[in-house]
Each structure stands twice: as structure tokens, then as C-alpha cells.
Structure 1
Amino acid sequence: MVHIISVTKVIQLIFIYSLTATLHDPAFGDSPPYNTCSSSAADSGHAGAIYSNLKKVLISLALNASAAKFSDASSGNDSDRVYGLYMCLNYISNDTCNNCITTATQDITKLCPNKTDAIVWEEVCQLRYAYGNFFGQLDVSGNIPKYNRKNISEPERYRSVVNNTLNNLTKLAAFDPSNEMYATGEVPFTNSDTLYALVQCTKDLSADDCDACLNKAIADILSCCYFSRGARLLSRSCYLRYELYAFYNGDTEASVSVGNQASGKSNQRRMWMIIILAAVAAFLLLVVASTGYFFAAKKVARKRKGMVRKQIQLHKIGDASKTGLRYQHVRGRDDDLKAQDFYIDLETLDVATSNFSDSNMLGQGGFGPVYKGVLSDGKEIAVKRLSSCSEQGNAEFTNEVLLILKLQHKNLVKLLGFCVDGDEKLLVYEFMPNSSLDAILFDPRKRGLLCWSKRINIVNGIVKGILYLHEDSRLRIIHRDLKASNVLLDYDMNPKISDFGMARIFAGSEGEVNTARIVGTYGYMAPEYAMEGLYSIKSDVFSFGVLLIEIITGRRNTGFNQSRGATAPNLLAYAWHLWNEGNALDLIDPLLTDTCSPDEFLRYIHIGLLCVQEDAFDRPTMSSVVVMLQGETITLCQPQKPAFSFGRVTDDDDNNYCSVNGLTISDLSPR
């Protein structure tokens, strides 16, 4: 059996090697240059002068290519004037651009001799000339799609992801001047595949024409090639491409599977391999069978041992007199969640996170670092490793495990399991592929991925998640650290609220608690909590108001850069200033101007200001906020002045978490 399997693998390797060796371009069936030539030739009476002017234009463009990724030139008088321009993809070097345009110059004269209008596309550049002035004029005629010969397994879902990604990049390229008509982005598609996309326009176009050109390109490419793993669209005025490998970082499809090519062997070596494998086949079978039996027996023994250890440790985590928990499981109305069913041993988490390697660290939270892990079945997880000096002790840990396991809402990050092993306390959550909201919202290159509709979807999701914690869950929970970095995004940019390490349980209908321990993040904390230690559901409302204004403006509350000469310590103060002046529309994110209704934007700013009023009594509840967001006909009251200073806080970036004071907390009590 081993002999047969080995021969089969060798044959497969030979086939793969022979196949890849014949491909000039591993992604596309044909290779550049691609060209389009007009059917008409130059008038014979002016052919000499026109050819001379064309030669001058091409030489000028080739010289410019050593210093710029885009240039245009013209030469001649009115009757024989020739116009030309080139565009190199922004990610290549100037030397590569120069070489590409030099090649394009040779190809265009060879492929389109004496034509009045011609364009040639090379791998990373395009060159165009015409006898009429086309500078600044949008031209989407004759778009040419090119697609990868390999198909995708989920074409409809892939089409949706590609469409959303390209549309978002289009807005970035067209309407963000800092991007200079160019944008790239990457979006996870599956656990193993990431979509990489690029869009670019010629710089002679207006922003609106760039947007129109790329929209037409997207429509063309998706109508013909959505089933393919990758594609590019060649247009006179713009260019787009997407693949499942980082082509703009120098990767090729062949490099993704380079191990296949490296596996080629000579005929003689393959023959020796077959002989050796045949000789030891019986021995290997015996070893495999023996090893399998040994590990199976060991696994059973370890499982039994682990069950005993878990039962012992579960008795120790938490003080029953303080938590009110008398059992090792939480009884629900119609279910019975046993803690041991969610227990994941430390050995498994060590393997999943590569021994908690720094390369797997996703971030540093208030109670310790968070790592990405992959379980043996391929499932991706996020592991929160609680700091040994954290005051989130056994009682708090028990609270987080036993309560979050009961919290089920589409806008809350799901707890999958936990581990207690000596001093180690770990929580295992579902993995969110698009990281946290702040990583995209405050990144000038990624912010364009969040169009107005996506931002409103995120706002509504956050509201629903917090409303569930405040009013709809079986125990009232206050988050106390709601912020952009604690809102994670799934594959479709849907929000999920994370980090319940600072959530506290309210007893019965009690509405406000006082604590000597102040934890939170500067810029998001309600003033009464920061200065007096008083927290209530209105504390989360304040944090939500800050977050709402950040989301729709694309600006941070803290570290806010003043503009228009206004004296404002933060975004809230500046928003209040513009609101009173009647200039609140100045706050709108420039990337949203074409997709956002001014009236809708002003309404959201209004709601945000109502949530951040200094007096907690004046702030609405989350249920009222839901009504405000959904009811356009509802009349909103005038907001009062927001709180501009925030008293004492624990900085989110401060890694010393051992000096906080103790916490006063009520016993657990169901509603």
C-alpha cells in the first residue's frame, strides 16, 4: 500500500512540474502585450510629419518614465499634432516603469504601425497615443477583460466580495486626493484565501470620471469573469485587477505553490525512492499501527486525567459565597451548559498558538494579550491570555466564563471555551478576520472600505449589541469600555462587541454602582464614571455617542487635529462648536460625500451629541437610541453641552495593570 501511494505521489509531482514548466504566465492564458489599434491610418499627405511628431512624443514619454508613474506629451502643429500618455502601476519602481514604457514604445509601433489611435498594455504599464487630443477625456470603449484560467469554488459569494472590495477601492482612488487615483486592498475570503485588489486611473481624469471609469470596469469584469480566481480589466482611462495572491507585493500564483515545483526529482532519484519505500513498506505499516495504538491509549488516559483535573479546578475558580454560584454549570430555562463541555486544555492552546508566539499576537488588551490560534480541525480562534498580575481573579474569571457562555447575540463576540491551568487563565473566542473597527476606520488607506451604508450597519449592530446587554440578556451587563478597538468585524464587516472583562453584573433592578476601581479608555469614559467612579447604563450610552460620532466622521475623539482655527481639545468639543454654528456638515468624512444624505448625517450627529451630554440624566437609554436611529419622523430634543474633560483614567496603552484599586461589586442575581 505504501509503495502504491508513494508511486502515485511521484506521478502527481511529475505532472505538476511539467504543467507549471509550460506556463509563461501562471495566472493568464496569454501574456502581454495586449493592444487596440484604430482601423484608420495617417493621411498620406501628412504621414511624414505625423510620424516625426509621434516619434518625438514617444521619446519624451520614455524619458519621463524614469522619474514619474504618469506623464503626457504632445508635439506638432494643429494639423499634424500627436498626443500621448502613459501610466505605470503605482506599486512598481521608477526603473521598472522606465523599462516597461521602453518596451511599450517598441511594441506600439510594431503592433499598430501608422495608426491614428493606438494603445498597448504591458504587464505593469500602458501607453497610448492619438492624433486628436484625448487628455482629460473619459474613454471606456473597447474595455478588455483578462481572467485567470482557474475557477473559484464559490463564484456567487466571491463575486459579492470582489464587487464590494472594488467599489470601496474605487471611492478611495477617485475621491481621496492623497491616494492619487490609486488604491489597493486585501480582504479575507476563506480561512486560507485572501482577496488582493488594485484600481488605478490615469491622472488626467477628474474624480468623477475616474469613478465612472472604474465602475464601468467593475461591471464589465464581473459580467464575464466572476467565476475566475482572478482577473484584470484593461481600459484606456483606468485599470483594475484582483487575485488570490498579493500580486502588487511581487507575489505570483506560482510562488504561492512553489513547493510543488521544488518537489521535482530526477528519474534516477525517483527510482531509488520507489525501491527504498518498497523495501520498508512492511516495517512502516507495523510502526504506524503500533504508534496509533500507543497514542490512542495515551489520549484516553489523558482525557480521564483531564476530567479529574478540570473538576478539581472548577471547584476552585471563584468564591461561592461571593458569586452566588453553587454548581459547576449554569442552569438556563431550557438548557444546561456544563462548564467542562467548553473546557480546552492548555496543551491544545499551546499548539494552536505556536506556544503563544509573538507572531500570533493580535493585540494587548487591558487584562492581557490576545493571540490568534488554529485548532487541529482548522478552526481559527482568538485566545485571550489573562495577565498574572491582573486583578481579574477567579471570581471575575468565573463571571466572564459562566455568563458570556449564556450570552447569544449576533453582535457579540462568541465565547467558544476557556482554560484554567495553575496560574494560567485563558478565554477562547471566535476569530474575527477583519480585525477591529479602529484598524480600518482610522487608517487613511482602509477607511474607504467603510461606505456610508456599511458604517450605518456597524452603528446599528453596536446599538443592538449594547441594548441586548442592558435590557434583553438574562442579567443586566454594563460594558464600561465600549470603544472602536473593542468592536470587531467579521468577513462581511458586521460588528461584534468584544472584551467583557470589564462588564459588571447588576443585582435585580439596581441602576447604578459605585466602584473604587476606574478602568476604561480616555476619550470614551463618561465624566461621572471617570471622576466619581459611578457607572450605569448611561455610561455605555456616553461611550456609544463618542463612537457614533467617530464612525460617521472618520476621526478619533482623542488626538483630534484642530481645523478651521477652532479651539477644541477633542472631536466632541469641535462637533459641538460646529453644531452651534450651523456648520455640522463640515464634519462629514470626505469619502462619504457622494453616498451620504446631508439630512441623515445631521441626524446622526444630533443623536451622537444627545448621547454625550455631560449630565447622565439627560442622556437617552439605548432603547431610545434605537428608536431615534430608526425613526426619521421623530423630533429630537436639543442636546446640552457635552463633557469635554474626563478626570482620572487608566490609559488603554498603559501596560502596568497591577496597581489598580479593588472593585466593589454586587452579588449575582437574575432578573
Structure 2
Amino acid sequence: MREFFFFFFFFMLINLQESRAEDITAFVYAGCTQAKYQPGSPYQYNVEALLSSLSDASGVSPYANLSSGDASPAAAAVYGLHQCRGDLSAADCQACVRSATAHLSALCLGALGGALQLQGCYVRFAKDVFAGQLDKSIAFQKCSAPSNGDVAGTRESVLDALALAGAAGSYRVASAGAIQGLAQCLGDLGPSQCTDCLATAADAVRANCGLAGSASLYLVKCYVRYWSNRIPPQSIPGYHPESSHIDRTSRIVAIIAGVMAVVVLLYVFVASLKRPSVEDREEAPCIHHGKH
């Protein structure tokens, strides 16, 4: 029974951790170039080496801009970067980037370049240098149905606050009334570039999503997201208000207490099956051993 309790408790903790990991590695979008490289070429080796280096670097820094292969021949050089969401720990960042590089290798097999956005991180590689270059083209957008409530005013306050993220760092969260949001730039952008990128993203949300109750808009170098706090906290990646943290902790404690109670009841039940009843003890024949 003790071994069963340990296994059950350990299994539950693993599931809790996996639920969190599934959140940060959830797929958002991906893209690959149509141009291909020759299998077995130096470029293929450099792509594999670059993605491996990004995966290793993500355990040390939430952002890295690397290259693989020297510029001679120039056709073999590969450039890439990774960017983790600003609220992730080093361990979660590396787990996300490892997942992203593995999926990117499969999705863009043979492509000269590719990019993959997960909920918790972004990875890109290309044959040309792209770091430091502001690209405000839309990579992905998703808008929900129009909200039944009045979100215009509070949403504008959130979008305005998120557009200032470039002045306060590459990652920012904001809230107003029932609306919460987050924004982030890639680490290769300077403060003015980041502010410019986020302002463009916020304007694109207004133009493309109307009064949607929630929206996600990703430009190549930055993104803006907002949602209503009436959405269950576990479905909102990247924003962890204190009240939601307390709610999650309370739920986990309640689950653990419930599991322990079930284990105790099972232990008592199994023990009662093994214990002979009073009637059995009274009716059991006495056996005497002696010499014959």
C-alpha cells in the first residue's frame, strides 16, 4: 500500500507538470521557405548544428542570436535565434525551445529557412542575416467573436499600455477592467524598434479584430495578445495574476488532500478484508498438538 501511494502521488505530480509543459509548447504557427538545400550538403550540417546550439543556449538565456558555419562559402552559413516568453524559467525556456527545434526540423526539413512559434517560445533560422532588422508584416492572427460586453474602453487601455513595452523591456503584461494582455518583442530589436513594432501590432488588432473578446496578432518581430479575465485561468498562457495563482494552488492542495483521503480509505478497506471477524475467531476450531 505504501508503494501504491507513492506511485499514485508521483503520477499525479507528473501529470500536473505535463499540463503546464503542454501549455508552453502549444503550437501557434510555423512557416518554411520554398527554396531547398541539397541533402547531405554543408548547409544541412550547419542547420542541424545551429538548432542544437539554440537548444543548448536556451538553458542559459531567454534570447540568443547565433550563426553556424563560416561565411566562406557564404552559401553554407546559417543564422538563427530563439526567444522565450518573458515569464518562463530557464528550465521551461529550454524545454520549449527543445520542442520547437525538434518540430521545426521536421516541419521544414530541407528548407533554407523556417520559423516556429509556440505559446512559450519562438525559433527561426535562415540563410541571410535578419537580426536587428524590423519586419512588421503579419505572420499570424486570430480573433474571437465580438464580445457581448463593452470591451472597447478597457481594451484600448490595455493595448495602449502594451504598445509601450519597448520602453520598459521586451516583455510586458497589462490589465484594465475585465481585459488582460501581454506583448513581447524579439530580443534583437532596440527600444524604439520594439515600440514601433508593438504600436503597429496594436493598430492591426484594432483594424482586423474589431471588438473581439480576445485576439492574438503576431508580426514577424513582435506580438500582442489580449483576453477577458472571465476565461478560466488555465486556458490563459503567459499571464499569471496573483488571484489565479492562489486559485491554482488551492485546487492542487485540494486534489492532493482528496487523493490522500482515498488512499487512506483504500488502506482501511484492504486491511479489513485481511482481518478475521469476531464470529470467525469464535467458530474456528481449536487444534491441539500433543504426543500420540
Corresponding residue of 1:121: 117
Report the Cα distance in structure 1 between the residues aligned to 2:215 and 2:40, rounded to whole angstroms. Answer: 38
Alpha-carbon distance, 1:125 to partner: 0.9
Equivalent position amino acid for 1:35 in 2: A
Moved over 4 A (4+): none
Counterparts of 1:622-661 in structure 2, within 5 Å, are none
Aligned runs of 1:507-546 on 2, under 5 Å?
Answer: none
Taking the aligned partners of 2:126 and 2:40, their CA distance within structure 1 comes to 13
SS of aligned partner of 2:156: helix
1:192-233 per-position Cα deviation (integer Å, ceiling 9, x unaligned)? xx2111111112112221112112211222222233221212
Give the SS at the match of 1:137: coil
1:249 to 225, 240, 244: 240
The 1:47–1:133 alpha-carbon spacing in structure 2 relative to 1, beyond 3 Å, is: farther
* Residue matched to 2:167: 175
1:56 matched to 2:49? The reply is yes
Tell me how far 1:244 sits from its aligned partner.
1.5
SS at match of 2:151: helix
* Identical counterparts, % of pairs: 25
User: Which aligned pairs between 1:228-627 and structure 2 lie closer than 5 A?
Assistant: 228-245=212-229, 247=236, 248-249=239-240
**Closer, same or farther in 2 for the Cα pair 1:240/1:104, shift >3 Å?**
same
Contact persistence 1:146–1:232 (CA under 8 A): yes
Say if 2:151 and 2:179, in contact at 8 Å, map to a contact too. no
1:396 paired residue number: none
1:216–1:89 CA distance, 2 compared to 1 (3 A): same
Aligned mates of 2:49, 2:196 — CA distance in 1:
32
Amino acid at match of 1:58: L
- Asked if 2 retains the 8 angstrom alpha-carbon contact of 1:152 and 1:227, the reply is yes
1:222 aligns with 2:206: yes
Q: How many angstroms does 1:33 deviate by?
A: 4.3
Counting only pairs closer than 5 Å after superposition, residues 192-203 of structure 1 correspond to structure 2 as 194-203=178-187
* Aligned residue in 2 for 1:96: 92
Alignment of structure 1 residues 3-152 onto 2, 5 Å: 32-42=27-37, 44=38, 48-78=41-71, 79=74, 80-148=76-144, 151-152=146-147
Tell whether the 8 Å contact from 2:104 to 2:114 is kept in structure 1 after alignment.
yes
CA distance in 1, matches of 2:223, 2:43: 29
Tell me, in whole angstroms, the C-alpha distance in 1 between the residues paired with 2:45 and 2:176: 48
The Cα of 1:160 is off from its aligned counterpart by 4.0
Match of 1:621 in 2: none
Query: Deviation per CA, 1:472-502, whole angstroms, max 9, x where unpaired?
Result: xxxxxxxxxxxxxxxxxxxxxxxxxxxxxxx
2:191 matched to which residue of 1?
207
Superimposed CA distance per residue, residues 2-32 of structure 1 (whole angstroms, 9 cap, x where no aligned partner): xxxxxxxxxxxxxxxxxxxxxx9xxxxxx61
CA distance in 2, matches of 1:166, 1:208: 17
| 8 Å contact from structure 2 (residues 140, 219) kept in 1 | yes
SS at structure 2 position matched to 1:143: strand
Report the residue type matching 1:124 in the other structure. Answer: G
Query: Aligned partners of 2:217 and 2:223: how far apart in 1?
Result: 6
Q: Secondary structure at the match of 1:90?
A: coil
Which residue of structure 1 lines up, in the alignment, with residue 157 of structure 2?
164
Shift of 1:110: 1.3
- The separation in 2 between residues aligned to 1:161 and 1:135, in whole angstroms, is 34
Please tell me the root mean square deviation across aligned C-alpha atoms, in Å. 2.8
CA contact (8 A) 2:43 2:77 kept: yes
Measured in 1, the distance between the counterparts of 2:40 and 2:134 equals: 27
Number of positions where the alignment pairs a residue of Structure 1 with one of Structure 2: 215
Post-superposition shift, 1:124? Answer: 1.1
Distance across 2 between alignment mates of 1:83 and 1:158: 42
CA offset digits 1:482-524 (Å, max 9, x no partner)? xxxxxxxxxxxxxxxxxxxxxxxxxxxxxxxxxxxxxxxxxxx
The 3-state SS of whatever aligns with 1:106 is helix
Q: TM-score, normalised by structure 1?
A: 0.30
Q: Secondary structure at the match of 1:96?
A: helix
Q: Residues 159 and 226 of structure 1 are in contact (CA less than 8 Å); yes or no, is this contact kept in structure 2? A: no
**Larger relative contact order, structure 1 or 2 (CA cutoff 8 Å, min sep 6):** 2
| CA radius of gyration, larger in | 1
Q: Distance in 1 between matches of 2:209 and 2:138?
A: 16
TM-aligned CA distance change 1:100 to 1:39, over 3 Å: same
